[in-house]
A and B are shown apart, each in its own frame.
Chain A
Amino acid sequence: MSARRKGTRLSADTLRFSFDGRTFTAQVGDTAASALLAAGVKAMGRSVKYRRLRGVMTAGPEEPNALLTVGAAPANIPNVPATQLKLSDGMVLQTQNRWPSLRFDLTALLQLGSAYFGAGFYYKTFILPKWRFWEGMIRRLAGLGNAPGRSDLPAPSLEHTHCDVLVAGAGPAGLAAALAAARNGARVVLAEREPAVGGELEFETAKIEGRSAGEWTCAALGELTRLGARVLTDTTLVGGSTGEMVLHTETAGMPGPARLIKIRPTALVIATGAVERMIAFTDNDRPGVYLLGAAERYLARYGVAVGQRLVLFANHDRVYLAAARLAAGGMTIAAILDTRVSGAQSDAARSAAAELTARGTACLAGHAVIAARGRRAVSAAVVAPVADPARMQSLACDAILVSGGWGPVIHAALQEGGTKRFDETLSAFVATDASDWRVTAGSANGAISLAAALKEGVNAGVAAAARAQRRGPMAAVPAASGDPEPHLQAYWRTPSDERAEKTQFVDPQNDVTVADLRSTLAEGFIDIEHVKRYTALGFGTDQAKFGGQLGAAIVAQLRGEPVPAVGTSRLRPPYHPVTLRSLAGHRVGAHLRPARVTPLHDWHLAQGAEMEAMGLWMRPRYYRANGSNATDAGIIEAGRVRTKGGIVDGSTLGKIEVAGPDAAAFLDAMYLSKASTIKVGRSKYMVNLREDGMVLDDGIVLRLSEERFLATVSTGHTDHMVSHFEHYRETEWASARLTLTDVTDAWAVIVVAGPESRAVLASLLGAQWQESLARLRHMDFATGLHDGHDLTVLRASFSGELAFELHCRPLIAKGLWEALVGAGLAPYGLEALDILRLEKGYLVSSELNGQTTPFDLGLDGLVALGNPCVGRDLLDRPAFREPHRPRLVGLRASDGKSRFLGGAQLTEDAVSAVPVGYVTSTAYSPALGEWIGLAFVSRAVPEGATLHVRDPLRGDNTTVKVVSPVHYDPKSDRMKS
């Protein structure tokens, strides 16, 4: 055991880890900070701006300095606080912000410029020649750890749960609250950030109910377990909103296997404790300056002495009790600097001081530390009377332990309308519990002494249980003795000349000093929010936990105003940093979004289909047997449909069944043309308008019976169209007799297209379908059974060929499909589908893009019908009739062979910067043997005009002729054959 270990509660097992290439031994249970301190390592990092050598200052997540990179690149994890990081055998740790090594850091030359690099200096320079010139260098100097190249983190486990009372924090107040709530019958969840419950009870020497604090903690934990409370360690309350709170478990204090719990408590007790405050004095950032409580924790939990000869510096009574405990741990207390004048101390403090004095400690009331001495580590403290700072003396020491009071952790309490108030006795902000479902207790509420914390905890626990209708008689407050009130007097910084203020650090991570605060105020940034943004005060990984309150108080001092007049900058969620991997949960990779597949999906895969995501749906783009790429295969597949026939899986088509006596009238209101005029057994191509008159969607509406319709909608619009219909049914049509059912998944759709389609179907469907198939005119449909299941055969075409849509039950889809393939109809994919529809000038989302009116699409005839549908009123706006509005046209290359692509702009000459339109989509047409396209072109451009295709992005420049959008079979003879 190292000389710095004074006995420990840790296991005797050891492990080895490396730190900047050196190998160290630690005990199982050590944090990186405790192990390094035990090994005598003080320097653990460098600051961002001035590259000052820094050691660990705290024992918690508020650590500003000792941030380490864990693991080797590329799977390194940067910026892990050494104070939180639990070591495991073989762990590889590296310091950050130094080059080439921590000790010999060339970037530390930046310190030479520190006099010029005050707050906001970068706004005043790097203007010439331009920021981009400097940016690369500055980016490399900024940042903390190295960027990871890879992340091997596993998905977190996720849990959604409820409880009566959630208690955040298992220090004295939290334990008391949990216990009181559980005794009253509440279902309690107790979450503790540290690996063990107890908080400050870990080093508390006062007695609770006559027992030691440690014994009481064990007993409390045992009773909680017996009462069925759930105690979660390594678990931090990180955020949430009214009702739902988010707990995050990270074992070992670093990103790794994690758990995210979303919990709905009836009541929340916030017992998150308080963070000790630094005091600003010259060179207070040197390795060897610690927060007092941190030194106590290192001793109590890890048996590590942060120094052999200590100077303690504080503004309250508790420093004397701490000194006694540290002395009992074998450390020498050289001096206690108490900023309060003699007489401010309580009797208990005075007697403790007397004992310490007897053992050689200089107890200096009315004194302060002026400066730390020692460049790489503290070697002495320069101290002086507060009233007479010139009377300096130097006290040799290897550690300065500072306690400027405590800042309650009120982050969670301030969310959603919580407010804070300034507690004068503690000189700190506490939350005002405005809401009835959350209550703050213990030092998080400014109750620092053990007795007060326990009392608040019990009261909070009882109140929280009562809110959950768990009322019992159990409200006894455990009696505590031996832990007095702090009697704190605010003391924020040691006055000094302005030069020395440049090394009085307020927020060490970002190198924010008292001098920065002063100059920032002088530049007119008065409000604390401005000060924060200009200096980066509180922007560090600790999010103002370390220096936020201190900075605000010093700003108040410099402004000559009381602290509450300045306030503190607004705290933002999360309450504690959360890894992205935990937040992402299971929704990454293949699970980012669910994949929707059709009943024929497996068949497509087995037959070598290249699948494509269309929204969440997966659809075959082409079949690899037909070509090695989409273009080639698409041409083959489309060509085959026109010469012989083919089948395509149309199951993704949206289908909404509209039924009831008012169904026809309802659909009349939803569509530009009337559904009520459709005869039973017939269907119609219909168009919807959005409320603003733009075309929303199109599709075929089938009249299944007098009062039943099937409206088909675009695959990508289905969810929206269902909601759209439902909205009108539930509002303007609320009294109508009408039901809407999304039957998209109830029907698979197989489209059979091509000249042979009827003959193949006739032979395949059997005798009972012969008559119907022969009878069906274009847009007629027939219903019946196939293989014992419902089948609808709709004669409609999206390809321009004679075609039938088979709407069948998913159960028989595969059989039908395979039979069709067996009958010689080859499947085709989206690529061919697109070629076929383009040849016919049919619309898809490229044209129905939410920016086009029915006039733009050449649907003037439908508008002229005068059906007063949704969106009809706003179609009458003047802009929609202007001559430069677009019109849907077809395009052909002037030379009959050049390629042109969707997304190209169209101009009237080769140089104009003003487009008259753009190409929506193009394809090589196997039927026509050339490239064809659809476009929106200004109405002023007549058919037959020549336009320039302007595609500078892809370099294709050609001219095209404006033609009819129907490229193929304009009279639709084939379709109607």
Chain B
Amino acid sequence: MKGPTPRYSALALLRARFKGAGFWMPLWTGRTLKDGYDVVVVGAGGHGLATAFHLVRDHGLKVAVLERRLVGYGNVGRNTTIVRSNYLLPENHYFYEDSLRRWETLSRDLNYNVMYSPRGVVDICLSDGDMIDAARRGNAMRLAGIDSDLMEIDALERFAPELAPRRTRRFPIVGALVQRRGGTVRHDAVAWGYARAATALGTDIIENCDVQGLRTEAGVVTGVETSQGFVRANRVLFATAGHTGMVGKMIGVPLPIETHLLQAMVTEPIKPLINSVLVYVHPGHGETYILQSDRGGVVMGGHLDGFPSYTREGQWHRMEDVVQGAVELLPQVGGLKILRQWAGTNDMTMDGSPIMDRVKYDNVFINAGWCYGGFKTIPASGAACAKLVATGEAADIARGFRLSRFATGHLLDERGGGPFPVRL
């Protein structure tokens, strides 16, 4: 495979120093649409770009990625950068684990530093009941060959001393389920790295190109109508998280998806304080996850805002909820300041798990409904979705993500929350 040029390395930085301007090339360029493609991918977010990359690299297809706005402007650049595979259900944990393994080598595979940081994801337990639930999940992971540790208070104190687990709290900490290989990845880098790698393989990435409809002949889709004209496509993939409901509307298929806001926020940078990802769910609808970015900012998130929304403007009182959890968990951060709060639009399905399937037409596919898990699955989703689109056959690890499961009852309800995106 011909890699992107010039290849990135420390040596290349040296050479660039002396070659001056013009050494580095655009990672992708806004090329004009060709007449037709094997596959048109709608949405240049993490999933669309990764799928495009694998469609070209693994299946040798001619691909265009059409993006209404900008590469990586949606959720891939708005999440809290957490990657993990600590899921309960086999349909989920094998898939997320496939993704985590790909994260481990992705920087090399893309020749782009996505800064995979396996610093550990700590799910804090507040009762013996929590510990049993955690054990159920952790043991399921271990049987599947996925790393997981159940830590009681001593071990947790050693692993995350900043947490001071013995500190008196309204809800005392009992222990935690820890996945050491879980951690963070630099979110924007993922979009850019895939865009660059896909471009190098000949993929066209067209920004500011709005897809307005599908053209069909005799029940088969022949291409897409866009703001830049019609483009032929043998197959079409929608990877438009946050607006999948709109896709359903466009093609006339109601989907089991609602769009909800999830907000995140960050403080000013400080020297290292928090060395893992801490997840704190407490009674009374409390949820805060908290980590420190490599830049030094303390990044936090929590529950959905709580009702369908496309505004991308999070509710102030939700920010307060998240911060309350943070200050309770780590009182030492009380003097830090929130610099910035933002929100993403999440595809929330009615069982909390994703959908990767054909929809309505034999040659139209959706990659959607990732709920809170979209970012961390990008590498696995790219490979699995490319297989589905290229061959028509679902990848083994993605067989559970059928759209039909809601009708058949093969639900993937990790939390037992039922058919409601918001179940506080």
Quick check: do A and B touch in the complex, using CB within 8 A?
yes
- Using a CB–CB distance below 8 Å, which chain A residues touch chain B? 48, 74, 77-79, 115-116, 118, 121-128, 130-132, 135-136, 138-140, 142-151, 153, 239-241, 244, 246, 255, 415-416, 498, 518-519, 522-527, 529-530, 533-534, 536, 539, 541, 543, 572-574, 577-581, 583-585, 587-595, 612-613, 615-616, 630, 690-694, 696, 845-846, 849-851, 874, 877-880, 901-905, 907, 912-915, 918-921, 950-954
Q: Are B139 and A950 in contact (CB under 8 A)?
A: yes
Q: Are B334 and A846 in contact (CB under 8 A)?
A: no
Q: Are A953 and B135 in contact (CB under 8 A)?
A: yes
Within 8 Å by CB of A135, from B133, B134, B294, B316, lies: B294
B337 at the interface (CB under 8 A from A): yes
A694-B416, A878-B408 known; A148 vs B332 contact (CB < 8 Å):
yes
Max count, chain A CB within 10 A of own CB: residue among B139, B144, B319: B139
Q: Are A587 and B271 in contact (CB under 8 A)?
A: no
Within 8 Å by CB of B135, from A145, A416, A951, lies: A951
Max count, chain B CB within 10 A of own CB: residue among A151, A526, A849, A951: A151
B335 at the interface (CB under 8 A from A): yes
B188 at the interface (CB under 8 A from A): yes
Q: Are B273 and A147 in contact (CB under 8 A)?
A: yes
Q: Are B132 and A901 in contact (CB under 8 A)?
A: yes
* 30 A-B contact pairs sorted by A residue (CB < 8 Å): A116-B17, A123-B113, A131-B107, A139-B292, A144-B269, A145-B271, A147-B273, A147-B332, A148-B335, A153-B335, A255-B334, A519-B24, A522-B24, A523-B27, A580-B327, A584-B323, A584-B327, A589-B328, A592-B325, A613-B126, A630-B128, A851-B413, A879-B408, A901-B132, A914-B90, A919-B136, A921-B132, A950-B143, A954-B135, A954-B150
- Using a CB–CB distance below 8 Å, which chain B residues touch chain A? 8-10, 12-14, 16-17, 20-22, 24-30, 70-71, 73, 77, 90, 107-108, 111-118, 126-129, 131-136, 138-140, 142-145, 148-150, 169-171, 186, 188-189, 192-193, 207, 267-273, 282-284, 286, 292, 294-296, 311, 313-316, 319-320, 323-328, 331-342, 350, 405, 407-411, 413, 415-419
Within 8 Å by CB of B320, from A143, A539, A584, lies: A584
Q: Are B313 and A415 in contact (CB under 8 A)?
A: yes
Max count, chain A CB within 10 A of own CB: residue among B133, B188, B316: B316
Within 8 Å by CB of B115, from A74, A131, A630, lies: A131
Shortest CB–CB separation between residue A15 and chain B, in angstroms?
22
Q: Are A130 and B335 in contact (CB under 8 A)?
A: no
Give the residues in chain A near B339, CB-CB below 8 Å. Answer: 541, 543, 577
Q: Are B115 and A135 in contact (CB under 8 A)?
A: yes
Which residue of A has the minimal Cβ distance to B151?
A: A953
Q: Are A850 and B418 in contact (CB under 8 A)?
A: yes
**Cα of A174 to Cα of B393 in the assembled complex, Å:** 65
Max count, chain B CB within 10 A of own CB: residue among A135, A146, A846, A951: A135
Q: Are A127 and B135 in contact (CB under 8 A)?
A: no
Give the residues in chain A near B30, CB-CB below 8 Å. Answer: 526
Q: Are B328 and A592 in contact (CB under 8 A)?
A: yes
Within 8 Å by CB of A150, from B140, B292, B311, B332, lies: B332
A121-B13, A584-B323, A613-B283 known; A143 vs B269 contact (CB < 8 Å):
yes
Q: Are B416 and A851 in contact (CB under 8 A)?
A: yes
Give the residues in chain A near B115, CB-CB below 8 Å. Answer: 122, 126, 131, 135
In the complex, the 3 A-B pairs of residues with the closest C-beta atoms, listed nearest first: A850-B416, A903-B135, A524-B26
Which residue of A has the minimal Cβ distance to B10?
A: A125
A79-B270, A583-B323 known; A124 vs B113 contact (CB < 8 Å):
yes
Shortest CB–CB separation between residue A23 and chain B, in angstroms?
24
Q: Are A588 and B270 in contact (CB under 8 A)?
A: no
Q: Are A518 and B21 in contact (CB under 8 A)?
A: yes
**Cα of A543 to Cα of B128 in the assembled complex, Å:** 43
Instruction: State the main secondary structure of chain A at its contact with B.
Output: loop
Q: Are A524 and B28 in contact (CB under 8 A)?
A: yes
Shortest CB–CB separation between residue A966 and chain B, in angstroms?
21
Q: Are B331 and A588 in contact (CB under 8 A)?
A: yes
Give the residues in chain B near A693, CB-CB below 8 Å. Answer: 409
Shortest CB–CB separation between residue B32 and chain A, in angstroms?
15
Within 8 Å by CB of A529, from B12, B70, B292, B333, lies: B70
Q: Are A578 and B337 in contact (CB under 8 A)?
A: yes
Q: Are B129 and A845 in contact (CB under 8 A)?
A: yes
A122-B115, A851-B416 are known contacts; what are 15 more A-B pairs with Cβ within 8 Å?
A78-B270, A127-B111, A143-B296, A255-B334, A522-B21, A523-B25, A579-B334, A583-B320, A874-B409, A879-B408, A879-B410, A904-B136, A907-B143, A918-B139, A954-B150
A135-B115, A592-B286 known; A905 vs B143 contact (CB < 8 Å):
yes
Give the residues in chain B near A146, CB-CB below 8 Å. Answer: 270-271
Which residue of A has the minimal Cβ distance to B89?
A: A851
Shortest CB–CB separation between residue B70 and chain A, in angstroms?
5
Give the residues in chain B near A148, CB-CB below 8 Å. Answer: 270, 273, 332-333, 335-336
Shortest CB–CB separation between residue B152 and chain A, in angstroms?
9
Give the residues in chain A near B319, CB-CB below 8 Å. Answer: 583
Max count, chain B CB within 10 A of own CB: residue among A849, A913, A952: A952
A694-B418, A849-B416, A850-B417 known; A579 vs B337 contact (CB < 8 Å):
yes
Q: Are B135 and A593 in contact (CB under 8 A)?
A: no
Q: Are A241 and B170 in contact (CB under 8 A)?
A: no
**Cα of A213 to Cα of B182 in the assembled complex, Å:** 61
Give the residues in chain B near A526, CB-CB below 8 Å. Answer: 30
**Cα of A177 to Cα of B331 in the assembled complex, Å:** 41
Q: Are B26 and A522 in contact (CB under 8 A)?
A: yes
Give the residues in chain A near B334, CB-CB below 8 Å. Answer: 151, 153, 255, 579-581, 584
Q: Are A589 and B9 in contact (CB under 8 A)?
A: no
Give the residues in chain B near A574, CB-CB below 8 Å. Answer: 338, 340-341
Which residue of A has the minimal Cβ distance to B30?
A: A526
Q: Are B272 and A131 in contact (CB under 8 A)?
A: no
Q: Are A915 and B418 in contact (CB under 8 A)?
A: no
Give the residues in chain A near B326, CB-CB below 8 Å. Answer: 580, 584
A585-B320, A592-B170 known; A255 vs B135 contact (CB < 8 Å):
no
Shortest CB–CB separation between residue A750 and chain B, in angstroms?
24
Within 8 Å by CB of A127, from B17, B113, B268, B413, lies: B113
Max count, chain B CB within 10 A of own CB: residue among A130, A573, A877: A573
**Cα of A696 to Cα of B419 in the assembled complex, Å:** 12
**Cα of A583 to Cα of B298 in the assembled complex, Å:** 15
Which residue of A has the minimal Cβ distance to B208?
A: A527
A585-B320, A587-B324 known; A127 vs B107 contact (CB < 8 Å):
yes
Q: Are A255 and B337 in contact (CB under 8 A)?
A: yes
Q: Are A593 and B282 in contact (CB under 8 A)?
A: yes
Q: Are A522 and B113 in contact (CB under 8 A)?
A: no
A124-B9, A593-B284, A903-B135 known; A612 vs B127 contact (CB < 8 Å):
yes
Shortest CB–CB separation between residue A924 and chain B, in angstroms?
14
Which residue of B has the minimal Cβ distance to A831?
A: B128
Q: Are A903 and B271 in contact (CB under 8 A)?
A: no
Q: Are A131 and B24 in contact (CB under 8 A)?
A: no
Max count, chain A CB within 10 A of own CB: residue among B8, B25, B149, B409: B409
Q: Are B418 and A691 in contact (CB under 8 A)?
A: yes
Max count, chain B CB within 10 A of own CB: residue among A127, A902, A921: A127
Give the residues in chain A near B21, CB-CB below 8 Å. Answer: 498, 518-519, 522
**Cα of A256 to Cα of B129 in the assembled complex, Å:** 39
Q: Are B337 and A143 in contact (CB under 8 A)?
A: no
**Cα of A500 to Cα of B306 in the assembled complex, Å:** 51
Shortest CB–CB separation between residue A660 and chain B, in angstroms?
28
Shortest CB–CB separation between residue B206 and chain A, in angstroms?
13
**Cα of A693 to Cα of B324 in the assembled complex, Å:** 36
Q: Are A581 and B327 in contact (CB under 8 A)?
A: yes
A135-B294, A524-B28 known; A124 vs B13 contact (CB < 8 Å):
yes
**Cα of A550 to Cα of B338 in the assembled complex, Å:** 24
Give the residues in chain A near B13, CB-CB below 8 Å. Answer: 116, 121, 124-125
Give the residues in chain A near B71, CB-CB below 8 Å. Answer: 530
Give the residues in chain A near B73, CB-CB below 8 Å. Answer: 529
Give the residues in chain A near B411, CB-CB below 8 Å. Answer: 692, 879
Within 8 Å by CB of A147, from B169, B171, B270, lies: B270
**Cα of A616 to Cα of B286 in the assembled complex, Å:** 11
Within 8 Å by CB of B188, from A147, A533, A690, A907, lies: A533
